[in-house]
Structure 1
Amino acid sequence: MAKRTAIIDIGSNSARMIIIERTSRFGFYLLEEVKSRVRIGEGAYENGGLLQPKPMERGYRALKEFLNIAKSYKVRKILCVATSALRDAPNKNIFLNRIKKELKLNIKVIDGEKEAFFGGIAALNLLPIKDGITIDIGGGSTELALIQNSKVLNTISLNLGTVRLKELFFDKGSNIKDAIEFIKKELEKIPDNFSQELAIGIGGTIRALSKSIMQKNQYPLDKLHAFEYELNKEIKYIEKIINSPTHKLKKFYIKKDRFDTIREGALIFAEILKYLNIKKIITSGVGVREGVFLYDLLRNSNYKFPYNFNPSVKSLLDRFCLNEKNSKCFYKNASKIYDAINFLFDKENRFKNHLLIAAKLSNIGIKIDFYEHHKHSSYIILNDLEYKVTHKDIVLISTLIRFHKKKLPANSYIKDFKKLLPSLDIVNWLSFILTLAEIINKDLSCPKFEIFYENKILYIKSENELYLAKEEIKNIKKPAPFAIKFIS
C-alpha cells in the first residue's frame, strides 16, 4: 500500500479530503485535512434529485484544488467516494464524466449500506468500543451500523439528511411537527435488532453538538474524538438548539458555518436517539473517509486490527522512539514491578495497561528536546494519542509520563483534570512504578532483577551492581511509607 494516501468524500453538504501517512504495517497518522462546503446537493431535493449547475461547478473547483494539495504531498494513491447526493441524482454521470475527463479522478459512488459499513469499521477500529450503533448524519442521508462484539452485523441507510430536511421543511417555513412526522416515518425502516445503549455519533452535525456540550460544561480536555456524555443529562439542551432561532445559535457555541443546518441535524439526531432508546453517546472524530482507508488497509485481516493493537501507540513509536530496545526494557520493568505491588493499590488490575502504554511512550519527547523531555512526551500524548482510548485513558497516561522523574504528580496539575483521573493514591503509585522502572535500567543494560514486597520493604534483587540506580533511588518520592532495599 502507498505510504501516503488521499481519501476524498463528496457528501451532499461538504467535500472533504484527508491525507494519511503510514509509518509501518498498521501504524499511521493524519497528515492533512481540507474541507469545502460545495453543497453539491443544493437544490436537488426540490428538483427530483437532479444536480444543479452551480453546485456541480463548485464541486469541480474544489476537487481540482484538492488534487493540487495531494500532488504537493506526493500522494501515491487517491481513493474518492461520493454518497447520497450523487447516488440519488439521475444526472450524476454529467459530473462524474467531467471529473474523470478533466481531472483524471475516478469517483466511486457508494450505496448507503456501504457508506454505513465504512463508518462502522472506522468506529470499531478507532474508538474504545465493542458494541454500539453508529449514527452518521449527512446532508442527504443518515447511515446506521450495528456493532456487536467488535463486528459490524447490520447496516441501513435512511433518507434523512440536513440539506434534505432544510429544503423540504425548514426553508418553506413548515411546522416542525411536519418534519418530525417525516423523520418518524423513515425511522420505521430500522430493523428490530438495532438495539444498543451506546450510540456512536459521526458527522459534522454531531461533532458540532458535542463541541457545544463540552463548552457548556467547561470540559477539561480539548479533544473531540471519544468525548462521551449521557443523553438524559443533555437532551433538553439539544432540544433548545433545535428550537432556537438562527440569530441566537451563537449563545450555544455553534460556529457560524453551521447555522444553516444545525437545527435540522440536531432534530434528526434527537429523534433517532429517542427511537432507539439510547442512553449514552460517544463522539467519533472519524467516519467514512477513515473507513475507506481502513477498508483498503485491513482488507486481508477481516477489516480489524490485530487483538490489543493500538494504531496511535504504534504510530508514535514509529515516529518518535529513539531506542526500541530501551523502550521494551522500560515496558518489561514496569510490568514486573506492577505485578509485585499492585495488591497495595489496584487489586483488580484496572490500570496496568495504562502504565504499560506510558512505559512505551515515556521518552518519545527526547525527539523534540532532551531537557524536560518528559513534559514534551506528556504533551504529545495529550494531543496525539487518539485512537482506541478513552479521554480518561489519555489523561492518566499523559499525567504518569509528565511526573515520572523522581517526583509525584503535583496537585496544581491534577486539579485541572480531576474529573478524568482516578484517585490521587492510584496516580501516585503508578507514577512511582514508572519512575522506578526507568531508574533500574539507568545504565541502559536492561539488567535482570527480582522484586518483592514484605513488611513495608520493597526488595530489589539483582546480580548486577546497579550503582547508578541505587544512587538515584535515594531521591525518589514514594506514594506511602516504606523502604527500598537492594539484595545482591
Structure 2
Amino acid sequence: MARITAVIDFGSNSVRLVLFQRTSRFGFKVIHESKQRVRIGEGAYHNGGVLQEKPMERAILALMGFKSIMNSFKVRKVLAIATSALRDAPNRNIFLNRVRKEVGINLKVIDGKKEALLGGIASANLLHLSKGVTIDIGGGSTEFALFENRRVLDTFSLNLGTVRLKELFSQNSDIEGARKYIRQELSNLPNEFRYPTLIAIGGTLRALAKVIQKRNNYPISRLHGYRYSYPIERDFINSIIYSSNSELLKIGIKQNRLDVIRWGVLIFQEIAELFEIDEVVTSGVGIREGIFLFDILRSSGRRFPTNLNPSIRNILDEFQVDDIKVVKHAVRTAHTLFDILQPHLNLDSKFRQLITYSSKLLEIGIKVSFYENSKNGFYLIINRLIYGISHEDSLLVALLVRFSSKSRIADEVLQQYRELLPPKSTIDHLHAIIYITKLLLSDYAPKSKFRFAYIDNRLEIRIYSPPLFQMVIAKFQPLENLEIELIPEFEDSK
C-alpha cells in the first residue's frame, strides 16, 4: 500500500497537486495541497487550440515545483491527469514529451467522460446524498455525472468553460453572445441529467457558494455539503454576471478569479434555469479526490462499503483510539438505549446512525488534550467529520459529544446554531442517550454491567457492579426530559 499518493490535476485554468496519506484500507487524509494558475489554455482558443509557448513554460515551472514537493514527502505513487485544454491541443504530444523529459512526470490526458466520472465518484462517495447530478465547470469544459447509491450511472461532457468563454467573448463583453453559445451546447445534454438538486463542483461554484454563505451569515464556514436555494439566490447570482471588479471584490470574490468568475456564473445560471433547479449542494471534492478514490476503491466497485464513513474511519485511525473494545461497548450501549427509547420518545430511525457516530467519538477530544476535552472534541468533529454527512448532522454529533458530560446542552449554543438543528425535544432526547452512555462507561470496562428497562414513563438502569454504581451516582445529574431511576443490583445493596 502506497502510504502517500500524489495527485496532479492539470486543468485549463490551474494545475494542482494534492498529497493523500492512507491511514488504513479505507481511511485517508490530505496532508498537502498546492496550486499554480498557469492558464495553459491562454491564447489557445484563438489559435485552433494550439498551446502557446508562455503558458507551456509556466506549466513546466509549476510541475518542477510540484516534483520538489513530492520528493520532500517521499511520494512513491503519482497519479497525474490533464483535461480539456490538452485534450483540444494539436501540439499536446510535444508538451507531454517536454513534461516527461524535463520534469519526470507522466501526464495522462483523459477524455471528458472520464473527467466527469472522476468528479462523480468523489461526490457519490464523499457527500451525504443518495442521488444527484454533479456539474463541474472548468476552464475548458463542463462535466456532468448522474449517480445513485454511490454508483455513477452516466456521464456527459460539454465544451463549456470559463477560460474558453473568456477567450471567445470577453473582448466585447458579449454576454448575450455567450448565452447563445451556452444554450447551443446545452441542447446536446440528455434529459436524464436534468435533476432538481444540483451538486456544484469546481472553483467557480465554490467561490459562489462562499459568497452566498457570507451574505447569509451562515454559522459554519465549511463549504463541502453547504446547501442553498437557487430560487432564493437567483437575483443575486444574476447580479454577479453584470458586476464590476470593485463590486465583486466587495462581496468577497478573490482578485485572481475576477477575470473568469462572470463566465463561470453565466454557465451555471443557464444550466440552473434549464434544469429548473430547486437546491444547490456544494461539493468540496472533485476530480482530484475522484482520481485517488478510483485507485483505492478499484476492488470494491469504486465505492466505499455500506455504512463506512471515511471521515470517522480517518479520525479513529489518526488519533489511534487505543481500546477498540471500549468503543464497541459504547456503540452497543448507545444502540440499546436508542432502541428501547425510540418508540416512547418518537425518535426518527435516521438518528440511530448519528448516535453511532457520537458514541464512537465520545472521547476523541482527549487525544488533543485531556483538559477541556469535550470542547476539543466539538471542534475536531466540526472540522474533520465532513465526508458522507450533512452539515446539520455533523453539527448535531459535535454538540452531543461536547455536552456528553453535562445534563443539558447550553441554550446559547443551541441558539447560535438554531437554523441547522432539529427541534429541541429531539436534541434533548438524543443528548440523554449519549449522556447516559458516557456515564455508564465511567469504569472503561469493555462489557456491560447494567440493564435497561422503560417502565411507566421512566428509564430504569440496573447496575450490577458496586464500583460502577458508585462512579455513576457521584456524577449523575437528573435530566429535564427523561426520568431515570438508578437501581443497584448487587449483594451489598440489598
| TM-score interval (norm. to shorter) | over 0.9
Q: Shift of the alpha carbon at 1:432?
A: 2.0
- CA pair 253-344 structure 1, distance change in 2 beyond 3 A: farther
RMSD of the TM alignment (CA)? 1.4
**1:186-242 Cα distance to aligned partner (Å, 9 max, x none):** 001101222321111000000000001000100010100000011111111110001
Identity of aligned residues (%): 45
1:316 deviates by 0.3
Distance 2:369 2:245 in 1: 48
**155-164 vs 415-424, greater mean Cα deviation:** 415-424
Partner of 1:245: 244
- The one-character-per-residue Cα deviations of 1:454-487 (angstroms, maximum 9, x if unpaired) are 12432123433333343235x3241326232315
The amino acid that maps onto 1:46 is H
Cα 1:322–1:376 shift into 2, 3 Å: farther
Task: Give 1:464's aligned residue.
Answer: 465
AA in 2 matched with 1:229: Y
Equivalent residues of 2:9, 2:287 under 8 A apart = yes
Deviations 1:328-349 (A, max 9, x none): 1111111111111123433332
Q: Name the structure 1 match of 2:152.
A: 152
1:48-92 CA deviation, whole Å, 9 max, x = no partner?
Answer: 000011100110011111111112122121110000001100011
- Distance in 1, matches of 2:478 and 2:380, equals 25
Whichever residue aligns with residue 472 of structure 2, its letter is K
Counterpart of 1:458, as a letter, is L
2:222 corresponds in structure 1 to: 223
Superposition deviation, residue 151 in structure 1: 2.1
| Distance in 2 (alpha carbons) for counterparts of 1:126 and 1:301 | 15
Where structure 2 has 5 or more consecutive residues not aligned to the other structure, the ranges are 490-494
Match of 1:95 in 2: 95
Which residue pairs with 1:289 in the alignment? 288
- The one-letter code sitting in structure 1 at the alignment partner of 2:355 is L
Q: Which residue does the alignment assign to 1:173?
A: 172
1:271-282, aligned counterparts within 5 Å? 271-282=270-281
CA shift for structure 1 position 355:
1.5
Partner of 1:476: 477
Give the secondary-structure state (helix, strand or coil) at the position aligned to 1:261: helix
Q: Report the TM-score when normalising by structure 1.
A: 0.97
Distance 2:55 2:478 in 1: 64
Per mean C-alpha deviation after superposition, the further-off stretch among 419-428 and 301-310 is 419-428
| Counterpart in the other structure of 2:487 | 486
1:319 and 2:321 aligned = no
- Does structure 1 conserve the Cα–Cα contact (< 8 Å) formed by 2:124 and 2:149? no
Cross-structure match for 2:492:
none
Shift of 1:166: 0.5
Q: CA deviation at 1:303?
A: 0.4
CA distance in 2, matches of 1:481, 1:61: 64
The 2-side partners of 1:435 and 1:74 are apart by 45
Q: Is the 8 A contact 2:355 2:430 kept in 1?
A: yes
Which string of whole-angstrom CA distances, capped at 9 and with x for unpartnered residues, describes residues 170-195 of structure 1?
1x114311110000000011012223
State the Cα distance separating 1:415 from its structure 2 match.
1.3
Q: What secondary structure does 1:19 align onto?
A: strand
Instruction: Look up the match of 1:395.
Output: 395
In the other structure, the counterpart of 2:115 is 115
CA distance in 2, matches of 1:252, 1:56: 33
Task: Quote the residue 1:22 is aligned against.
Answer: 22
1:259 aligns with: 258
- Partners of 1:186 and 1:108 in 2: CA distance: 26
Residue correspondence of structure 1 range 421-432 to structure 2 within 5 A: 421-432=421-432
Q: CA deviation at 1:377?
A: 1.0
When structure 1 is superposed on structure 2, of 120-129 and 348-357 the one drifting more is 348-357
- Cα distance between partner residues in 1 of 2:259 and 2:85: 18
> Contact between 1:116 and 1:157, CA under 8 Å: does it hold in 2?
yes
| Aligned counterparts of 2:46 and 2:139: Cα–Cα separation in 1 | 14
Unaligned runs of 5+ in 1: none
Aligned residue number for residue 338 of structure 1: 338
Given that 1:131 and 1:196 are in contact with CA atoms closer than 8 Å, whether structure 2 keeps it comes out as: no
1:121-200 matched pairs, under 5 angstroms: 121-170=121-170, 172-200=171-199
